[in-house]
Amino acid sequence: MKKALRQKALAYRTQLSDHEVAAFQPQIHAGLLTLLQTFRPCTVGLYHPVRGEPDILEITGNLVLEGFEWALPVCCDSPTGPLLQFAGFHTGDLLEVGQYNILVPQIKTWVQPQVLLIPCVAFHRQGARLGYGAGWYDRTLQNLVNKPVAVGIAYSGTESKHPFAEPHDQLLDFVVTENSVIHCKENRT
């Protein structure tokens, strides 16, 4: 089921026109800004968008989020297997190409995000998230001692009507799309 859902969601993202993506970005940013303002200033783990993911990086310059700190994920090896670590990030920092050709900070000052913004290939409103299938975010969330608030970022057209979570999946607390901010815990039975 996950493979077919992943293919369908990636095809949806691919067919979005530049005009549609440009129209969705401010709506996703608005929902994200509203949600982040409910937290006191903290460290937020971002992501550098690839493969048609919503671009959220410009929120770092929004004055309503003054006092927030930012970080980008870096794929790293650990004694328990591959995990993401988070390197502090400021707009204008020098970036280099990391694993999977994703840009990461050149200078890595490791931080622990209290809020983690996670790109979704697809999602279900109960908090299941589908990525590219390598399990980086699931393993990372499972191994963090202090669990961050997990916020999925997705296009509403990639929502699955059918639950697809498996026992190893780490559920999201919220999902932000161009149409809404979904409180996942409220949708769990």
Domain boundaries, the chain: 2-187
Task: Please determine, for residue 102, whether its predicted confidence score (pLDDT) is greater than 70.
Answer: yes
Task: Identify the band that residue 85 occupies on the pLDDT scale cut at 50, 70 and 90.
Answer: very high
pTM: 0.94
Output the pLDDT for position 1: 82
Class level of CATH domain 2-187: alpha beta
Residues 181, 112: Cα–Cα separation, whole Å: 24
Tell me the percentage of the chain whose pLDDT exceeds 90: 87
Task: Please determine, for residue 188, whether its predicted confidence score (pLDDT) is greater than 80.
Answer: no
Task: Please determine, for residue 189, whether its predicted confidence score (pLDDT) is greater than 70.
Answer: no
Residues 38, 71: Cα–Cα separation, whole Å: 19
Segment 117-140 shows an average pLDDT of 94
Output the pLDDT for position 78: 80
